[in-house]
Amino acid sequence: MTYFIFVLELNLNQKCPSEHYLKQRSFMEESFREDVRIIWRFLSKYKKEFYKIMTIVFLGSLVEAFIPFIYGKIVELIIANATLNLLFLWLFLWLLAQLSFEWTLRYLFVNGGRVTTKCVNDYILLINQHSINLKLSYHNKNKSGKLASRYTKAAGALENLLEGIVFWFGRDILTMLCVLLLIGFFVNWGLLLLLLVYISIFLYLSVRYSKPITDHIMEVNKSYEEAYGTINDSISNVKLVKANSGEKVENEKVSFVLEGRAMEYFEKFWKAARKTFFVQDSAIALMVASSLAMVIFLYRSQSVGVAQIVAFISYLGIMRTPLQRVGEHIGHWRRWMVTIRRGYSLLEEETEDYDTEGKVGLSDVQGAVEFQNVSFAYNETREVLHNINLKVNPGEMVALVGESGVGKSTLVDLISKYIIPTAGKVLLDRVDIQRVSLRDLRDNIAVVPQDVSMFNDTVRNNLVYGKPDATEKEIKSAIQTANAEAFIADFPNGLEEQVGERGVQLSGGQKQRIAIARAVLKNPKVLILDEATSALDSKSEMLVQEAMQRLMQNRTTFVIAHRLSTIIHADRIVVLAKGRIAEQGTHEELLEKRGAYYKLYTLQSLARDKSE
């Protein structure tokens, strides 16, 4: 077969044929081997079930291949005027064979489906776990809808591929092999040889013509990912869209991708597919016609009898559909594998380093935080922080102030290791956090971020997210500290009130107080408050500040605040300017210095006086 393919390829490729052939063949083999490796990664977990199913299916195919032989025998017996007893015996055999074969089909339907579902579940779990573990920088760069679309499509493709190709097409292949074997044994070896030659040509053409299909369908998939990404983006920013009457623009963005690029490649895909179908259909018709011609010739020369002719025609009928589907399935295999690989390639994206091996575990953390010559850049073009040196003692409250965009949030993100310094080190209790187990590090830090996130769940579940085993007493005390008691009590369902998607049913100030309570519950050694009270009215802010003051005792706290009146009691105020520490000291010391802080403070006081 290989020799035949080789000769044909030589004729088709006039330019340096052997080199081209070898290159293409080795690429295909390599890529197919990789495809199988991916599929086997999921299937091998259920290999016992898989082998059992395939063995039963093989026996079913063997029985199916015997059925035409029984037909032939019955026709032969009728022509030969055989006894009724003998005829009934063969009819009984047919009934037995038919029922056993049907049973194996049902068996495959149920059990193949079960293994497929288990594999798809494993795939979704694996990719989902990996996606969550991906670095924040990846999530910041990629639209969340795009990511979700990439792996939901891949899960669908895996389901189709396992069920449609591995199990059902696998069965078709086994049936063809059994049929070919029986043609050799019961009909004629010459006919078998002729069929083998045709099938080889057919397989070669199917592989060759389905290549462009893959490329086009990949582009179609990419377009859909982009469209889902845009849809997700507009739905999560629906308020912004409505505020700016952007509904039409948003829809146009999606339509541009779907009706433009997706359809363009879809048409190309169909053009390539139509060509493939035509080639395959012609090859099959030719095969049937010439093998029938050979049967007639063999009958004339009395090499085969009526029984063999009946069996052979029936065999052709059995083989026709699987053979036709060879090409279809090769196309499908490629199309689905492209999608599966795209989802699977997420596994190649770098995740955060959760490995605890060789890492320092943290126990009895004191909370000393030190930045040693730390610089950081989000991208090569611009460094945000330059050579920061800052030593914070356990239990100290440090306020970070400075203009918007100067790098305050970036600086505290380095402590949680959401981002990693491009130069220098961050130390916790004198250990470089690069060497500390990520889980231990984050377990000791609580952050109330600038943009509070909420799950679409109850107030209670949002509160206990960092500490699922919190007692009622702890929850109550955290709520009191965050001055959230009154508004939660006002909710019809109290702590069980649903907060809506991203907490839309809560006010900005309520969200902040729940986030503060969440941080309090976690009872961390390092507390980071990034504009944590910016959305509160002055009275609530004062109450929360008072409670926070108590909370800050015995833990290192970083407070970022634009309203300087809220941080004048800080042990130390660090002023950032142009990505560097411009000055630091207590409120009084900095006022005396009459530097950057003095300017900021007097500006704010002036503004306040004016508004009063």
Ligand X SMILES: Nc1ncnc2c1ncn2[C@@H]1O[C@H](COP(=O)(O)OP(=O)(O)OP(=O)(O)O)[C@@H](O)[C@H]1O
Residues lying near Mg ion in the complex (CB under 5 A) are found at 409, 450
Cβ 418 to ligand X shortest distance, Å: 10
Partner from Mg ion, ligand X, none binding residue 410, C-beta < 5-8 Å depending on class: ligand X
Residue 404 interacts, among ligand X, Mg ion, none and using kind-specific CB cut-offs from 5 to 8 Å, with ligand X
Question: Is-contact 397 390, C-beta < 8 A?
Answer: no
Please, which residue, 402 or 524, has the CB nearer to Mg ion?
402
Distance CA 312, CA 186 (A): 9
Q: Which of ligand X, Mg ion, none has residue 605 at its interface (CB below 5 to 8 Å by kind)?
A: none
The span from the CA of 496 to the CA of 110, in Å, is: 42
Instruction: Provide the residue type at 223 as one letter.
Output: S
Count of CA atoms in the C-beta half-sphere (13 A) of 220 = 19
Of the CA atoms within 13 Å of residue 47, those in its CB half-sphere come to 5
- Smallest distance from the beta carbon of 450 to Mg ion, in angstroms? 5
Measured from the CB atom, the residue of 149 and 512 that comes closer to Mg ion is 512
Q: Are strands 423-428 and 556-560 parallel, antiparallel or unpaired?
A: unpaired
CB of 39 to ligand X, least distance (A): 37
119 vs 576, beta carbon nearer ligand X: 576
192 or 561, CB closer to ligand X? 561
103 binds, among ligand X, Mg ion, none (CB under 5 to 8 A by kind): none
State the DSSP string of 496-552: G-B--GGGTTS-HHHHHHHHHHHHHHH--SEEEEESTTTTS-HHHHHHHHHHHHHHH
Give the separation between CA 367 and CA 446, rounded to whole angstroms: 12
DSSP code for 12:
H
Nearer to ligand X, 405 or 508 (CB): 405
Q: How far is the CB of 132 from Mg ion (least distance, A)?
A: 24
Residue identified by tokens 């060497």 is 435
What angle, rounded to 10 degrees, do the helices at 17-43 and 2-12 form? 130
By C-beta, is 411 or 495 nearer to ligand X? 411
Strands 423-428 and 369-379, by their bridges, are antiparallel
Q: Minimal distance in Å, beta carbon 419 to ligand X?
A: 8
Q: Which does 260 bind (CB under 5 to 8 A by kind): ligand X, Mg ion, none?
A: none
Closer CB to ligand X, residue 83 or residue 379?
Answer: 379
Task: Measure the CA–CA gap between 112 and 106, rounded to whole angstroms.
Answer: 10
Residue 317: contacted member of ligand X, Mg ion, none (CB under 5 to 8 Å, by partner type): none
Q: Give the nearer residue to ligand X in terms of CB position, either 28 or 136.
A: 136
Nearer of residues 122 and 383 to Mg ion, judged by Cβ: 383
Which is closer to ligand X, CB of 140 or CB of 605? 140
**Closest separation between CB of residue 407 and ligand X, Å?**
4
Identify the burial level of 594 via C-beta atoms within 10 angstroms of its C-beta, where 0-12 means exposed, 13-18 middle and 19 or more buried.
Answer: exposed
CB of 380 to ligand X, least distance (A): 11
- Check if the beta carbon of residue 265 is closer than 8 Å to that of residue 223: yes
Q: How far is the CB of 590 from Mg ion (least distance, A)?
A: 21
Closest CB to ligand X among 275 and 562?
562
Report how far apart the first and last C-alpha atoms of the chain are (Å, whole number). 93
Query: Please, what is the minimum distance in Å from the beta carbon of residue 576 to ligand X?
Result: 7
Q: Which residue's CB is nearer to Mg ion, number 259 or number 451? A: 451
Torsion sign, CA atoms 511, 512, 514, 515: positive
CB of 511 to ligand X, least distance (A): 17
Residue nearest to Mg ion (CB): 409
Please provide residue 345's backbone torsions phi and psi, each rounded to the nearest 5 degrees: -65, -15
* Contacted by 508, from Mg ion, ligand X, none: CB < 5 to 8 Å by type: none
Residue 528 has a CB neighbour count (10 Å cut-off) of: 25
Evaluate whether 386 touches 579 at the Cβ level (below 8 Å).
yes
Determine the distance from the C-alpha atom of residue 97 to the mean position of all C-alpha atoms in its chain, rounded to a whole number: 45
Q: How far is the CB of 542 from ligand X (least distance, A)?
A: 22
Number of H helices, E strands in the chain: 22, 10
| From Mg ion, ligand X, none, interface partner of 384 (C-beta below 5 to 8 A by class) | ligand X
Minimum distance, C-beta of residue 574 to ligand X, in the bound complex (Å): 12
Q: Alpha-carbon distance 357 to 244, whole Å?
A: 51
Q: Which tokens go with 185? A: 């044994």
Question: DSSP letters along 195-264, please?
Answer: HHHHHHHHHHHHHHHTHHHHHHHHHHHHHHHHHHHHHHHHHHTHHHHHHTT-HHHHHHHHHIIIIIIIHH
Q: Write down the least CB distance from residue 404 to ligand X, Å.
A: 3
Q: Hey, what's the torsion of the CAs at 299, 304, 305, 307, to 10 degrees?
A: -120
* Residue 135, φ and ψ in degrees, nearest 5: -65, 150
245 versus 404: smaller Cβ distance to Mg ion:
404
Residue numbers of the site for ligand X (CB under 6 A)?
Answer: 140, 378, 384, 404-410, 450
